[in-house]
Amino acid sequence: MPFLKKSACLCSLGMVTILLCDAIQADEHKAYVQLNAGAVFAPTNSFTPDAALSSHGLPKITFGYDPGYATGLALGYHLAEQFRLEGELMYQVNAFDNVFVGSFENHLKGERMRAAVLLNAYYDFKNQTPFTPYITAGVGGYHVEFKSDNNYGLRNDFDVAYQVGAGVNYKMSDRFSFDLKYRYFSGADPQLKRIDDRFGKLFDVGDHQLMVGIRIGF
């Protein structure tokens, strides 16, 4: 009898230990870090000078962009089985070489660079497969800057940004997963400042992004 009682106690202790380890492991994997990279497709947008510049004969400037790239770093946390939040830092670059000043084409070359900080929410459609589709939306702020080969520059201070999208995550192990998503990234039309401290406004600032990522749970 003492042996049976001792065995029962050891079994109970073992079961409790396993449950605690599982709980600790689950808690560890609620948080994750994700590295993203991908392509950015930017539609044409235009810079409209303010009244003072227009009165000096400066017409609207239209930028046409080449496909660019984006990179990002996100830190997230699973608040519930299907709902998570993450903070994200993003940086993207698109080159331009098709610029129209009014109706005249100007072969000006340069880059548009944009940095953003976002708070994103995700809803995961959990199922019995390794694939988890999801939808996402987020809000934050962004800074944009134009630099050209003739030292012409435009930049804003900081404006509201937002994103909406959808994707799918593939679970490779308990800790590692692969991510693929599309999102539309845009924001408030920014007031841009030229290097001579004169102003104008940029319109149609939305981009299409196709991103891949590696997610690491901890």
pLDDT digits (tens, 9 = 90+) for 173-184: 989 999 999 999
Mean pLDDT for the chain overall:
85
Are 99 and 154 in contact, with CB atoms under 8 Å apart?
Answer: no
- Tens digits of per-residue pLDDT, 154-178? 899 999 999 999 999 999 998 999 9
Model confidence pLDDT, tens digit, residues 184-215: 999 999 999 876 667 888 998 999 999 999 99
Give the torsion through C-alpha atoms of 194, 198, 202, 207, to 10 deg.
20
What average pLDDT score do residues 28-35 get? 88
Residue 129 has a pLDDT of 96
Which region among 12-16, 119-123, 131-135, 203-207 has the lowest average model confidence (pLDDT)? 12-16
Closest CA to 93 of 108, 106, 76, 110: 110
Where are the chain's structural domains?
Answer: 31-217
The tens digit of pLDDT for each residue in 78-88 reads 999 999 999 99
Residue 151: CB atoms within 10 A of its CB come to: 8
Average pLDDT over residues 22-39: 75
CB of 83 closer than 8 Å to CB of 124: yes
Write down the architecture of domain 31-217 according to CATH: Beta Barrel (2.40)
Residue 150 banded pLDDT, cuts 50, 70, 90:
confident
Question: Hey, which of 23-27, 132-136, 189-193 has the most confident mean pLDDT?
Answer: 132-136
Residue 58: predicted pLDDT: 65
pLDDT at position 2 over 90:
no
Q: Is the pTM of this model over 0.75?
A: yes
Q: CA-to-CA distance for 54 and 64, rounded, in angstroms?
A: 21
What does the pLDDT average to over 104-112? 83
Rounded CA-CA distance 124/215 in Å is: 14
Q: How far is CA 53 from its chain centroid?
A: 34
pLDDT for 55 equals: 52
SS3 17: helix
Judged against a pLDDT cut of 50, whether residue 7 lies above it is answered with no
